[in-house]
Amino acid sequence: MRQKEWGVAGLKIQGLAKSYREVRVLENINLDIASGEFFTLLGPSGCGKTTLLRTIAGFQSQDRGEIIVNGERIDHKPAHKRDIGMVFQDYAIFPHLTVAENVAFGLKARSLPKSEIRTRVDESLAMVRLEGYQNRLPAEMSGGQQQRIGLARAMAIRPTLLLMDEPLSNLDAKLRIELREDIRDIQRRLGITTIYVTHDQEEALAVSDRICVMNKGNVEQIGTPFEIYRKPLRRFAAAFVGTMNFVPGRIEGGRLSIGSQSIPSPAGGIDGPIEVAIRPENVLLAGDPHRGEAITLKGEVRKVTFLGREAHYTLSTEAGEIVAQVADPERDFIEMEGRPIEVKLPLGRVALFKSNGDVVEAGQG
Amino acid sequence: MMSRRFRFDIWTFVLIGAWAILLILLIWPLSSILRASLIDNETGTLSLVHYVEIFTTRVYQRAIGNTMIAGFGGMTGALILGVTLAFVTTRFHIYGRAVIQTLAVIALVSPPFIGAYAWIVLFGASGVVRKVLAAIGISIPPLYGVAGVIMVFSFKFFPHVFLITSGALAAINRSVEEAAESLGVSPMKRLFTITFPLILPAISASALLTFVLSIADFGTPRIIGRDFNVLATEAFNLYGGEVGENPGMASALSIVLIALSMIIVFGQRWVLRKNVYYSNMIKKPERQQVSGLKSLGLHVLAYGIVLFGALPAIIVVLFSFRRTSGPVFQPGLSLQSYEKVISTVSEPIWNTLIFSSIAVVAIVITGTLIGYLISRRPSFATGSLDAILMVPYVVPGIVMGIAFITRFNDPPIALTGTGLIIILAIYIRRLPYSARSVSAALKQVGPNLEDAAVSLGYSPGKAFMKVTVPLIVPGILAGALMSFVTAMNELSSSLVLYVGSTITMPVRIYLSVMDGEYGTASALSTILLVMTVAAVYAAFHLSGRKESALL
């Protein structure tokens, strides 16, 4: 249910580049973000995601490229005329103003009538579940509440775009999940186009419509959370999102060899060293039922880590170290340490990466 | 397509304005000193003759040596007193810490010459204390010469050290000291191997400050130094013409004086080259409860230092109420000194208030803008601005005064004899303190706050006014009052720049002391002290912060 008065906008970024001195922070970024989309920039610190966000906001200028909102170029506009809401990592709540004054701050810049300001402040605070806190000072409030003020303040101006720069990273784990659910709900309800920056892959998977994985100023992969997790196109995305085992292998003459094992290669047409990637939850141990083809490796249980609802087995295999996740471990799991074990890597859940980091497409050739 | 934009906003104008101010009021006048020092008085040609004379003439060699002795002596004494007091008050439970801090601040802001003059009253040839001690058979030498100068400097400047290092001592993570203790290091060794190295930045900063203050001070050596001549007194004599004017020589001495300060500035940077400790505060140090003799000893030590430091101010206040007959104090109390001040010399009071107020308004406005520029718009232009702002720290007031009178004597800018020239000298000397304190205050205000305001639709200039200014106002006001205090007490540059109608209180006090009118000097000093203490009290009250925040 989108409210009519919200100016919902799509965002297009073309050929955006930025260098600081000799260092290229952003290299030729191209993005096409649909109206109403929750789009996340995900990557390690220094990957350029915050620079990209701040460039969209207008706090930094690009060297090249265009930023287009609803078909209109905005990259020449100063930040305060872009009509873009922003939520900050450190909340950036004005400590000398009350909660209501913080939320009204942007509305006063727009010279709205007093009654309208009051209505919008109350609406925004209700939206972030801070009704009744109007006259409090921010210093009396918790980090989670302060970030709710930040969100209400950004939304009160009814921006065309909402930018969020790691809004949850200063909060503790429980609050983080609670607030991220709220953010997602509010975004869905209002249908505001949102660009969200985080280095937390779980957060990105949980909230996004699409995720853009960034590394060293480049876009590694753009896709839905499912695609990013299950079909990583680049080794970097595979390694950064979730946990991934990588073991070295080789494709030669149509056969894939790992350790002493050799099977017909699932992908043809390439020869040379590759990396075999598989997630811990997809590694099968002796006795697990499975269908389809699999690579079988011999190994030994080196270490067992009990995590509650699951356990991690660190296995030394002939191809290298592999971590396997066992759901709902039995009581005798710990006794596995030191025992020999057979490991199966089902081919349907394996990804192969070339030495340049690209994924080997199944049936390539 | 390149579209690297340079936004020509309000801060560009501020940057240009700041550079213009520094060029006209700092670099241009000081260049005159450098130039004069390199011109032969007789031939009018470029020559190093003055410098050669300085380094080959005995009287100047002695002045250089004495300046170093005064500088290092004052610095060492102030460090010992200041660090001791800071350590005792931050690490042990001492009753009446507010009293100690107040007394330290009184010593800090005591008007100039109060010190030197009061020490003479106490320990001079016919000093009160000496007489009392002589009566019970203890004979101490009068407080003239090198020992007196160093003692006066130590007790005059230790509050700087105390205020700077107590802040640092209170911010040491206690776990670090506990770790040393658990590793079996004795408390004394711990002090020298852990605690002091950790506060080295504060110690070295206060060492630098006290050294520079000591070598720039010219009243103390002049009043109680007797034949202890230093560069500052020599420069003033040569400039002031008591022994025949020699501006070239005065300028060369000034340059040597600045050079000595610069050496210490670089020395401090060198000491600190590797010492950057980032500490996350987990546990603050606690004040240890002590009892019995140890407690008594610590109280005597702490109160002894501050009372002795505040003694000159106290003496002057007492003496201002004594009956006088000409220059001689008579038994009994009277308000006649005040009557005389009000009836004959009230002009300096008004001058002081007017000049200081105008200077402070200008300092606050430009200092805030420049401080913002330095901390929030880092670039080569603002970085070098910050570096140039260090210059007034190391230029003694007397030198600044000479530079001003040389440059602003003739058109295009003829200001000699006006109040404006005194205001401008105070302005340029104190501007760096204001700019620095604002940029320090800004470090406490996250830059994202302004970005947030901009994203909500405020232009950068409006965002600054609406968000940043309200947050740093307490810091600005506190800094303004401290500037006001130092402006009211400014002596050395005013002494060079004043004429009859623009005389200020510090100058009047100095002249009264020189003329032996001690009653008038005491009354004027007391008035100045009361105004100063009122301003300091207001600064604390407005800022709601500790004294150390005012430095």
Angle among Cα A261, A262, A264 to the nearest 5 degrees reads 150
- Restricting to A residues 28-67, those with a Cβ less than 8 Å away from any Cβ of B are 57-59, 61-64
Q: By CA distance, what is B7's nearest residue in A?
A: A78
Cβ-Cβ contacts under 8 Å for B381 (sequence gap 6 or more): B15, B19
The predicted-structure confidence for A128-171, as pLDDT tens digits, reads as follows 999 999 999 888 888 899 999 999 999 999 999 999 999 999 88
- CB atoms B1 and A92 under 8 Å: no
Lowest mean pLDDT among A18-22, A105-109, B326-330: B326-330
| A230–chain B nearest CA distance, Å | 37
How many angstroms separate the CA atoms of A146 and A157, rounded? 18
- CB atoms B459 and A78 under 8 Å: yes
Residue at which a domain ends, from A208, A237, A266:
A237
Indicate the residue of A61, A62, A96 with minimum beta-carbon distance to B470. Answer: A96
Query: In this predicted model, which residue has the larger pLDDT, B180 or B196?
Result: B196
The domain that contains A267 carries what CATH number? 2.40.50.140
Lowest mean pLDDT among A101-110, B259-268, B438-447: B438-447
Name the pLDDT band for B111 (thresholds 50, 70, 90).
Answer: low
How many angstroms separate the CA atoms of B256 and B265, rounded? 14
Strand A218-223 with A210-215, pairing: antiparallel
Residue from B5, B10, B376, B456 whose CB has the most chain A CBs within 10 Å, to mutate: B456
Residue at which a domain ends, from A177, A203, A237:
A237
Mean pLDDT of B517-544: 79
How many angstroms separate the CA atoms of A139 and A129, rounded? 18
| B535–chain A nearest CA distance, Å | 26
The predicted-structure confidence for B15-37, as pLDDT tens digits, reads as follows 899 999 999 999 999 998 888 88
Please indicate, yes or no, whether residues A160 and A295 belong to a single structural domain of this protein.
no
Name the pLDDT band for B91 (thresholds 50, 70, 90).
Answer: confident
**Residue A3 included in any domain:** no
Strand A284-285 with A272-278, pairing: unpaired
Q: Which residues form the domain of A277? A: 244-354
Query: In this predicted model, which residue has the larger pLDDT, B314 or B5?
Result: B314
- CB atoms A59 and B454 under 8 Å: yes
Query: In this predicted model, which residue has the larger pLDDT, A69 or B114?
Result: A69
How many angstroms separate the CA atoms of B435 and A198, rounded? 37
- CB atoms B457 and A94 under 8 Å: no
Mean pLDDT of A5-16: 78
pLDDT of residue A209: 96
Token code pair at residue B510: 């100095």
- CB atoms A61 and B3 under 8 Å: yes
Please indicate, yes or no, whether residues A154 and A272 belong to a single structural domain of this protein.
no
Name the pLDDT band for B123 (thresholds 50, 70, 90).
Answer: confident
DSSP notation for A134-197: TT--GGGS-HHHHHHHHHHHHHHT--SEEEEESTTTTS-HHHHHHHHHHHHHHHHHHT-EEEEE
**Residue A269 included in any domain:** yes
Angle among Cα B242, B244, B246 to the nearest 5 degrees reads 115
pLDDT of residue B468: 87
Please indicate, yes or no, whether residues A230 and A296 belong to a single structural domain of this protein.
no
How many angstroms separate the CA atoms of A326 and B303, rounded? 70
The predicted-structure confidence for A93-121, as pLDDT tens digits, reads as follows 888 889 999 999 999 888 899 999 999 99
How distant is the alpha carbon of residue B180 from its chain centre? 36
pLDDT of residue A125: 95
Please indicate, yes or no, whether residues A125 and A261 belong to a single structural domain of this protein.
no
Q: Quick one: fold of B9-29+334-551?
A: MetI-like fold (1.10.3720)
Flag whether residue B448 sits within 8 Å of chain A, measured between CB atoms.
yes
Please indicate, yes or no, whether residues A62 and A114 belong to a single structural domain of this protein.
yes
Flag whether residue A95 sits within 8 Å of chain B, measured between CB atoms.
yes
Please indicate, yes or no, whether residues A36 and A82 belong to a single structural domain of this protein.
yes
Share of chain B above pLDDT 70, in %: 91
Please indicate, yes or no, whether residues A163 and A250 belong to a single structural domain of this protein.
no
pLDDT of residue A197: 96
- Tell me if A359 sits within 8 A of A352, measured CB to CB: yes
**Residue A39 included in any domain:** yes
Distance from the first to the final alpha carbon of chain B: 50
Residue A75 has pLDDT above 50, yes or no: yes
**Residue A4 included in any domain:** no
| A74–chain B nearest CA distance, Å | 13
Mean pLDDT of A310-320: 91
- CB atoms B456 and A92 under 8 Å: no
Lowest mean pLDDT among A133-147, A227-241, B204-218, B318-332: B318-332
Mean pLDDT of A86-91: 91
Residue A61 has pLDDT above 60, yes or no: yes
- CB atoms A96 and B5 under 8 Å: no
Q: Average pLDDT, whole number, for chain B?
A: 82
Flag whether residue A119 sits within 8 Å of chain B, measured between CB atoms.
no
Q: By CA distance, what is A157's nearest residue in B?
A: B456
pLDDT of residue B54: 84
Indicate the residue of A64, A84, A90 with minimum beta-carbon distance to B455. Answer: A84
Mean pLDDT of B353-363: 92
pLDDT of residue B327: 65
Pick the CATH number of B48-320 from 3.20.20.100, 3.40.50.300, 1.10.3720.10, 1.20.120.420: 1.10.3720.10
Please indicate, yes or no, whether residues A231 and A324 belong to a single structural domain of this protein.
no
Flag whether residue A362 sits within 8 Å of chain B, measured between CB atoms.
no
pLDDT of residue B201: 80
Residue from A59, A89, A151, A162 whose CB has the most chain B CBs within 10 Å, to mutate: A59
pLDDT of residue B127: 77
| A75–chain B nearest CA distance, Å | 10
Name the pLDDT band for B277 (thresholds 50, 70, 90).
Answer: low
Please indicate, yes or no, whether residues A223 and A131 belong to a single structural domain of this protein.
yes
Cβ-Cβ contacts under 8 Å for B447 (sequence gap 6 or more): B376
Query: In this predicted model, which residue has the larger pLDDT, B276 or A235?
Result: A235
Cβ-Cβ contacts under 8 Å for B6 (sequence gap 6 or more): none
**Type of residue found at A15:** G
Strand A84-87 with A11-20, pairing: unpaired
**Residue A365 included in any domain:** no
Flag whether residue A106 sits within 8 Å of chain B, measured between CB atoms.
yes
- Tell me if A303 sits within 8 A of A326, measured CB to CB: no
Q: B5: which chain A residues are within 8 Å (Cβ-Cβ)?
A: 61, 76
Flag whether residue B321 sits within 8 Å of chain A, measured between CB atoms.
no
Token code pair at residue A356: 């340049």
DSSP notation for B415-475: -TTSHHHHHHHHHHHHHHHHHHHHHHHHHTS-THHHHHHHHTT--HHHHIIIIIHHHHHHH
Q: B475: which chain A residues are within 8 Å (Cβ-Cβ)?
A: none
Residue at which a domain ends, from A237, A255, A276:
A237
| A155–chain B nearest CA distance, Å | 10
- CB atoms A157 and B456 under 8 Å: yes
Please indicate, yes or no, whether residues A275 and A314 belong to a single structural domain of this protein.
yes
Name the pLDDT band for B276 (thresholds 50, 70, 90).
Answer: low
Query: In this predicted model, which residue has the larger pLDDT, B500 or A156?
Result: A156
Please indicate, yes or no, whether residues A105 and A30 belong to a single structural domain of this protein.
yes
- CB atoms B452 and A59 under 8 Å: no
pLDDT of residue B464: 85
Domain boundaries in chain B?
A: 9-29+334-551, 48-320
Share of chain A above pLDDT 70, in %: 95
pLDDT of residue B390: 81
Flag whether residue A114 sits within 8 Å of chain B, measured between CB atoms.
no
Residue A232 has pLDDT above 90, yes or no: yes
Helix (H) or strand (E) segment spanning residue A6? none
| B463–chain A nearest CA distance, Å | 10
Give the total number of structural domains in chain A. 2
Residue B283 has pLDDT above 80, yes or no: no
Query: In this predicted model, which residue has the larger pLDDT, B174 or B112?
Result: B174
Indicate the residue of A75, A88, A109 with minimum beta-carbon distance to B448. Answer: A88
| A263–chain B nearest CA distance, Å | 52
pLDDT of residue B116: 76
The predicted-structure confidence for A256-308, as pLDDT tens digits, reads as follows 888 888 888 877 677 889 999 999 999 998 777 777 788 889 899 999 888 88
- CB atoms B5 and A88 under 8 Å: no
Please indicate, yes or no, whether residues A196 and A341 belong to a single structural domain of this protein.
no
Lowest mean pLDDT among A315-319, A327-331, B63-67, B483-487: A327-331
Which of these, B399, B391, B357, B393, lies nearest to B497 by C-alpha position?
Answer: B399
- Restricting to B residues 457-486, those with a Cβ less than 8 Å away from any Cβ of A are 457-460, 462-463, 466-467, 470-471
